[in-house]
Chain A
């Protein structure tokens, strides 16, 4: 009996392996579903090439699951007609057969891939571009997975490549933050001297073309603590999110974070317009002044010497800006802030058009990772986290959920207040990950592990999937679902892709499940 059982297990195992035996190594690049993190260069996060609609959403079914290598995956896939490319932190970039999830090739890289995977053509060559959060920007051959170039920012010793680059023409524009925000936890560290910024590299070679810091004045000593450790400022104003791009005017737009030390600058918590040709700053508009904060402030009770006083409120523009237009055709630049506010400004001048507060805000949002818009419907979708970290700061009532605002006026059209399942367990139930819009729906992933599809015009929740479970993965391992955070969902044709698991912040549940759903079944 045991023998029969073992033979059965072996046969089953061999069949499972056999499913991935005849996978071709070469990916096709005939269909292009995104220009980067924001789906298009304007960061609308609206996917036109999708079959997911209010009508088809209830027919979504799990198609396959791929087990990633760590429990805080932070990469966003690039999809072609037959391949899905995704970063697997600690392992590399993985090219997966779109239909089955089987691996075509792996570009081995042991760092933390933190960005979306981007695609570009450099002459005859297909390239994939991505960030390692610490070591910089990489280009690999998209067909073979071979290394092409690596670039880093020599001027900035502690650059943090957290935001996804943007590619236009022969240039790769890379947002730059700084590790000092976390390094300040070390009380012997002389906080802080570095600035955020934007850097442009040549697409073909990785050669640095220009670099523009967000703080022009070099940091100077402003004091000391414990007799020996010197303090410096100004510093900070990091660029966390992917820039948006005006193709007609050749202008980059992006937002900045708070200062890391005093004195504060007028460039923190600000929206920027920058000449993509040379990095010249065209305008900047600050929305929250005198905001200085580091990770040391999360330890308020310890009165950490590297927590700047006065402190906070730490309300970055972590979310990438969105260059959009109203139904009347007027251009607007949208910025979602951790304060829980959405701002709309004139992209030519930076003049404020409207501001709408939809959350109480906090150091993890408010609006954390991004917005999405549906220009035809005239709506911007703002996910609210309102997560409280330790005792700072977030006064008032948390209102996590999804908000739809009128693009033209900022008036709230509808609001979906997410129910909580966190009463009996340590978790958060707000929306931190960036949403995605397509056709007449909006898709979100919540911090308590639900993928949800909403009707864009009413906010009715059409479909929900609980990812807090284990999955048998196509690569032979067991995948674990967790919190949805960071880059959020992607759709292409009949597929919905999203990564479950993110334990980077607070009590969020880690996981390693790259989930691929498919619109299946017959029409009713």
Chain B
């Protein structure tokens, strides 16, 4: 897929995150209720229920976002606000493009990188409420104020987020 590159605005990215942060836990809660993995006394006799909840959370993420990430590099939230995840351009090329105000073309990031590298930062976003775990999400998200608007998860996965036309 090729389209002109224009970095996604920070408000859009925040809005996309809020949508994802609402939908994924909501579906997880629904699945937890339907499957009843934390409903019975026996479930708490050991710690397996935590694994089930984790698996349901991963399942929820994949159910909501898996297909669109594969085809378009978008979570549901990003689809709603019209942005997408793409392979990062080399610094020099991106700098040149940004300086010249010209557009470029992008390639949707490989699905395995989106899931295996980038998506793991999503649950840590919620840890921003828990000291001292908040340091990781704080660092992750504060990097968006850099010129290239690449968060830590973008740097790890080699991605950047652009407007999708």
Contact = CB atoms under 8 A, between A and B. Distances in A.
B44 A188 contact: no
5 contacts: A158-B41, A158-B44, A188-B38, A193-B40, A230-B39
A228 interface: yes
A229 B39 contact: yes
B44 A179 contact: yes
Closest 3 CB pairs of A and B: A157-B45, A190-B39, A228-B33
A189 B38 contact: yes
A188 B29 contact: yes
A188 B42 contact: no
A295 to B, nearest CB: 15
Interface in A169-195: 179-180, 183, 186, 188-190, 192-194
B36 interface: yes
A226 interface: yes
B49 to A, nearest CB: 10
Interface in B24-41: 29, 32-34, 36, 38-41
Nearest to A186: B38
B33 A189 contact: no
A222 to B, nearest CB: 14
Contacts of A157: 41-42, 44-45
B32 A188 contact: yes
What DSSP secondary structure best describes chain B's contact surface? helix
A193 B44 CA distance: 13
Given A188-B32, A227-B33, 11 more contacts: A157-B41, A157-B44, A158-B41, A180-B41, A186-B38, A188-B39, A190-B36, A190-B40, A193-B41, A228-B36, A229-B39
Interface of B: 29, 32-34, 36, 38-42, 44-45
Given A188-B38, A188-B39, A229-B39, A158 B45 contact: yes
B33 A229 contact: yes
A87 to B, nearest CB: 24
A26 B49 CA distance: 43
Contacts of B33: 188, 226-229
Nearest to B32: A188
A189 B36 CA distance: 8
Contacts of A188: 29, 32-33, 38-39
Nearest to B44: A158
Nearest to B30: A228
Q: Which of B34, B38, B41, B45 has the most CB of A within 10 A?
A: B41
A180 B40 CA distance: 10
Nearest to B46: A157
Contacts of A179: 44
Interface in A103-159: 157-158
Contacts of B44: 157-158, 179, 183
A157 B39 CA distance: 13
A466 B32 CA distance: 49
A228 B38 contact: no
A194 B45 CA distance: 12
Contact of A189 (B29, B39, B45): B39
A301 B40 CA distance: 25
Nearest to A235: B41
Contacts of B32: 188
Nearest to B37: A188
Contacts of B45: 157-158
A216 to B, nearest CB: 17
Contacts of B39: 188-190, 229-230
A194 B36 contact: no
Contacts of B38: 186, 188-189
Nearest to B45: A157
Contacts of B34: 228
Q: Which of B29, B39, B45 has the most CB of A within 10 A?
A: B39
Contacts of A158: 41, 44-45
A12 to B, nearest CB: 34
A30 to B, nearest CB: 43
A282 to B, nearest CB: 29
Nearest to A219: B41
Nearest to A192: B41
A136 to B, nearest CB: 12
Interface in A59-97: none
B138 to A, nearest CB: 27
A274 to B, nearest CB: 24
A140 B39 CA distance: 36
